[in-house]
Amino acid sequence: MKLSVIIVNYNVEHFLEQCLHSVRKAIKNIPAEVFVVDNNSIDGSVAMVREKFPEVRLIANTRNTGFSYANNQAIRASKGEYVLLLNPDTVVEEDTFEKSVRFMDEHPDAGGLGVMMLDGKGNFLPESKRGLPTPAVAFYKIFGLARLFPRSKTFGRYHLGYLDKDQTHAVDVLAGAYMLLRRSVLDKVGLLDEDFFMYGEDVDLSYRITKGGYKNYYFAGTRIIHYKGESTKKSSVNYVFVFYRAMIIFARKHLSQGNAHLFSFFINLAIYLRAAAAVISRFVKKLFLPLADAAVIYAGFYVIKDWYEHNIKFTEGGSYPPELMLYIAPSYIFLWLITVFFSGGYDRPVRLTRILRGVAVGTAVILVIYALLPESMRSSRALILMGSAWAALALTVIRLVLHAVGIKNYRLGGSDNKRVVIVGSADECARVDELLRQTTLRTTFRGYVSPSEQGGEKKENTLGNITQLEDIVSIYKVDEVIFCAKDLPAQTIIDQMMKLGNSAVDYKIAPPESLSVIGSNSIDTSGDLYVINVNSITKPSNRRNKRVVDVMVCLALLPALPAALFIVKKPAGLIRNWFAVLFGFKSWIGLGNGSKAGARLPSIKKGVLSPADLFPKEVSPETAERLNILYTKDYRSWNDVNIVLRAFRKLGG
């Protein structure tokens, strides 16, 4: 056996499927075996591998054992002369394995090999080649010198930016996303250190390889796509702690005591700096716009109050009580922003109609509450109406300004309506087109491009062939290109991505016979995914509406609770569920247990009831699965209410 390919998977079913399709093509001319070690995924990964890739040797762990432990499981069971550790969120070219193994055969001093990695837009990933993270290198990276001087031999050593990415070089550290290892070297230096749960194991093993007298090579003769970070969101605080703590383990293991202490100091400093930056960044992203809205509305309301007070209301003296601006006005603003939120005014893309609708609803709520207040607590309806007009104007102007300065997340109008072209045969284009119609993706234009230079079979909306793709993207102002992997080699797809090189265009790949289309929009983001089953319930507006229904049902149950306790089957359970739903731990309606494919459905809160509870008798797992799919694919708030009413006696379950 020449090659053993080992893939550790954790809840990235659709990326794994695409990866395995590319691996299947890449091992055609090599005696090879493929292992998938699944770390207790709940997304249907195990079922998918068994169904679609029966030739793969599957190890299904019943707990998440960590990356190192899982790889070692497969390494011990493998027989290949070379062992390849491969991430599930990758796509390899058809000759990647052949070229990599040939290089290793020709270089007996090579203990390990990494390759050129590109993100989902065809951009080079600098972690394809890395230096050893010594205290000095860590210092330069933590304090931004590596980013300021990426090509410096002193400051740019973390990513070895001074080495030509198009040339093969000996390097210190291999990337764990694609790590080809000589088995005889593993026998000598040992397997992955299981003290590293997820990060750092590649640095540790690379260092031990060089200490054992071998070289690690960055091989520029082939390329892979790496959808960087799908398993772990890199912006999270948890990622910061796990990643940098792994560096501390490495320092304590390999550096002298003095250097290890210095290294640990810098790493701990980095942890708190990066964690603080992550928290602040998340806070700014989530609350910047609402806080800006509140501040502008408050300032305008103050000016309106002052003008109205002196020119109309109290022309002969007097003023509004200070409580107006201390408590009442902030309450108005809070209600306006809450109703704008529930109207979808903070969803992307920005739509002014949602904002105006939210302000109008908020104003109506305020006027109703105002009418119920005693005379002594009323200020002025005129102020409310003028304040609402100012709120609508202010929110509109703020978004127009954000749109004008070109901030992507605040673009107005139909920025989610994409102009898409599909590159593939007529049949495959039709299949992918139908898949897109069943997802949440909204498009204003779909065109087709033949994968053959001769043009191939013509169909309606065919724009040309693949040699004309660059012109097609430019002329038709295309936002997204979808490549059909069944008709195009991975090498051709990567060539086209690099040739187009347009940062404004997104690229995705449609694996054959799959219900997913996968891609990535930037070097810093995880992969984007269109999946047929994950549909309307995942939209922010519907998740929000679902939460509103939960709370409204709780409020409606409250006065009826004494009577309800005599109706439901488990009264104590009803009380527990009422509190769990009210405080957001549960939803009244969740997903029931379906067959094996049911695990592929989107993740939502655990429910008291499920769509299957519409029926008086227990339904089969297959029927429950179909009901779950219909519920998530075409979510309506009324569906939740209907299930609650029809299955009322089960609310204590």
Q: Rounded to an integer, what distance in angstroms lies between the CA atom of residue 245 and that of residue 193?
A: 14
Tell me, yes or no, whether 315 lies in a domain. Answer: yes
- Count of CB atoms within 10 A of residue 330's CB? 15
Q: Rounded to an integer, what distance in angstroms lies between the CA atom of residue 473 and that of residue 78?
A: 45
Residues 94 and 195 in one domain: yes
Distances in whole angstroms, Cα of residue 338 to Cα of each of 45, 326, 394? 39, 19, 16
Q: Among all chains, which residue has been given the structure tokens 């091989």?
A: 219
Residues 50 and 198 in one domain: yes
CATH code at 51? Answer: 3.90.550.10
Residues 511 and 619 in one domain: no
Tell me, yes or no, whether 245 lies in a domain. Answer: no
Task: Report pLDDT for 318.
Answer: 80
Domain range for residue 447? 417-532
Residue 25 has pLDDT above 90, yes or no: yes
Tell me, yes or no, whether 630 lies in a domain. Answer: yes
Tell me, yes or no, whether 302 lies in a domain. Answer: yes
Tell me, yes or no, whether 147 lies in a domain. Answer: no
438 by Cβ neighbours in 10 Å (0-12 / 13-18 / 19+) ranks as middle
* Peptide linkage before 349 cis (omega within 30 of 0): yes
Instruction: Let me know: does 609 contact 631? Beta carbons within 8 Å.
Output: no
Residues 399 and 435 in one domain: no
Residues 481 and 495 in one domain: yes
What average pLDDT does range 163-174 have in this prediction?
Answer: 91
Residues 393 and 439 in one domain: no
Band of residue 345 on the pLDDT scale cut at 50, 70, 90: confident
Residues 82 and 24 in one domain: yes
Domain boundary among the residues 410, 434, 450 is at: 410
Lowest mean per-residue pLDDT among 52-61, 72-81, 186-195, 538-547: 538-547
Domain boundary among the residues 410, 438, 465 is at: 410
Tell me, yes or no, whether 603 lies in a domain. Answer: yes
Cα 73 vs. chain centroid, distance in angstroms? 28
Tell me, yes or no, whether 139 lies in a domain. Answer: no
Residues 440 and 383 in one domain: no
Q: Among all chains, which residue has been given the structure tokens 């590109």?
A: 118
Q: 481-516, pLDDT tens digit by residue?
A: 999 999 999 999 999 988 887 667 888 998 888 777
Q: 259-318, pLDDT tens digit by residue?
A: 556 666 666 666 667 667 766 777 777 788 899 999 999 999 999 999 998 888 887 778
Residues 426 and 359 in one domain: no
Residues 86 and 209 in one domain: yes
Q: 416-472, pLDDT tens digit by residue?
A: 577 899 999 988 998 888 877 766 566 777 889 999 876 555 567 788 889 899 889
Tell me, yes or no, whether 149 lies in a domain. Answer: no
Residues 397 and 451 in one domain: no
Cα 177 vs. chain centroid, distance in angstroms? 18
Residues 67 and 197 in one domain: yes
Distances in whole angstroms, Cα of residue 502 to Cα of each of 112, 165, 477? 33, 20, 11
Q: Rounded to an integer, what distance in angstroms lies between the CA atom of residue 358 and that of residue 344?
A: 8
Number of domains the chain is built from: 4
Domain boundary among the residues 410, 440, 457 is at: 410
Instruction: Let me know: does 530 contact 151? Beta carbons within 8 Å.
Output: no
Query: pTM surpassing 0.85?
Result: no
CATH code at 437? Answer: 3.40.50.720
